A and B are shown apart, each in its own frame.
Chain A
């Protein structure tokens, strides 16, 4: 059974509380039991408790698959980019280096690239992915566009990302503030530490709210 095309995966970093439930739960999902395929990043712990969950964005034209010399990475018809096929993967690390979102992981022991497959064992059976089910703040949400529109009137989803010259469309949606003018996230803008270049924080500013201390 394919993943229903009415259901989308939404990420709302503004809601993330850094609890790592997603990380702990991902290692319980049946396809890569014991390994977690999601990372949790602190944006800058000295400045703020803001954290960011990083899952596979399931790109329409996945860079990881495009650079794979062994044609080991498959994107299913329902748009889910899978862990490398075991017999094909030559553990060359090309995908790990090429993915603009930093998603694939090389398991050196198994000599296999592993990555988030949107819990294919669950989503293809109509269940929600493990991480999006447990996420206590629902920073990770799996559901229909109508549900998200209804639940999050202050935000809206986007799925276009720019990495310098490269534009990528993804199956996974990122929530940004409704009033934000951006229609895509330009990731290179956010690749500098906020301390180094205050102008370079546009991406973060688009997704995160400022802490309102009145003084």
Chain B
């Protein structure tokens, strides 16, 4: 920090520099005098050297020269800005908004894409992958762990969600399943207590029993930071775990957009999942595997090492029930390593496009704001032409004057950046909230770091130069004599500056059109997505997920769920009720190969069908129309014929239409025996959206809960009501508690679930509309400014025309002619730019072409009328000028 201290000293001395200079002069004089007393004046001078030069050198020692002129420029610039508070406030505010929006979005991009994980030497972490897949089974992980020699360390982890409640409505904690070496390999030290070890990570729990390490955030929120939390027990899905440690605050897991509350050893999995443990399951892909490279190893070297071991690992862990073809592929599929210093982020993958689009949008807004400020500065520079010319006439170099003007611009952009930075602190949090959903909460650390600061300062510098350079060059390019001879209004310089101003406004109009068209396209897409035929009615539906947490034996579950359903149908306000394994658009799915009777499959993929298991009455509850046949009902029992309902797409695909009723579909449901069970098609229902709203219609099929032998421990109840869903929850909670108070419940609004699946589309549409409107406003201000200036400049001419009898209308037209010209040029440029930019966002559009003529036309019309209005105000003012006053002023 030596340089900091030095700068501080310099600044301190700068503040009383005349004092310091006097001191130095006095000191030198004393020296000369004393020496002269000894040796005489001449010798004294000779020994002393060139006094002036020395004084200059001393001054430079303080760095006075540059600080000096900088402070002069800043003071001067500050005065100039303060002299025009209206301009300054407008400019700083629009810059603050522009820079703030850019910084806010950059903060998120930085947090999810650029920032390295806060672990030891993140550059040496790699992720194990095979093909496109980054998930592995526990048996594979254990094999990799036992073949450590390729790496300095390995770790595995999986996401989980644990219920902290002891009954009733669930309270979830974000969980991590971690391998014993997880924290050690990452180099994380405990904040309190100890972290997990290989000793804890044994099948069924280690010597210390089921233990958990909690995050700092959870320690604060759940235990209020109480040190006594260590050694306490928390229940996860109703199973007790002892808390042995707390992680430091900076460590929030390896997913940058998802924090964690509790981490427990992978080996404890059988404690929670007694039905079937995932530990020995060879086809449950739920763990990420990471490794730390050995010192000196490169990624390819380590990759070669693990590939050498892969045959052994693969053979030991191959799922036995797979078909021949799948097995062959499994053995062939090579392990790969990918550097993973920045961690994982679903945002990065899901919202990448959205973030980059928004970045482009706010970048354009900033450009428009710059054009505006440049325009205002041009007008000011013209007004200051005399002052500048005088300065240049008395010997200020052109460079010196340009530097002065640029200092002013940079001062302006600096102030804007300061405001923008403050604004971005709030804006980035708002953005995170906009992208965050109940199902998929976004938990990104967007606090600014050096990268963000550098970005903001870079943008400030760039914008300052951008809007400052043209006016500065323009103002200094005219010969001083010329201007001084001209009248006070600087008509000559004004004329050329006016052309530049018009060009800037035309550019603004063009950029605004691009933004408006973008907003229009995104809004159209969103409308199309929401208006698309979903195959169900999303309104007034409440979802209740009920989880037995495996406390209820399998054989009793069918009966339990049936009893609950019966009971829920009697809750006041509930009009229809059903249950289903999967709810639509929840980003979950279950697919399966089918063997329809009489259908010759073209390929394996050709028969991949998406499934759900539902109770009778499901389709009526969801308002999914039944196209043919019948719904599931009381006839369908465990002992009756196995039945299936398929959607129209599947009926068409497999059976060519309604003739499907009565046909059989073969399936190997449990995937264990390889034997195919037959299901008879009893109905055909309308196509519905399955995973998300953007998807092409999927082939899908439904099985009935009443024919299920061993249901999973959780199911969803779907309640359609005449009243808002929120008013139902307490009655529903009470009704279920009557039957079994130990069940874990989670309430969700179906409409919210559907809407949240469009969070990227919604956010992009919302923000681009907002910024589009802002751009429109800026363009209006720009046009208003340039027209007002034109009117002022032509006051004399207008006065003469009016004195000669020109009508008000013709004066308005005179002014508007210019506006129309600017608009026309801007529109042509804007349409070309919109078409070009549209191609970049095609992938984000739904049901609308990037070159949509209707959108383009509407946006152009809105822009044209808004800007014409802005031009009309000064035009009208011009037409009301009193000719005599106008002429006198001239």
Q: Do A and B come from one complex?
A: no
Residues of A whose CB lies within 8 Å of any CB of B are none
Q: Name B's A-contacting residues (CB within 8 A).
A: none
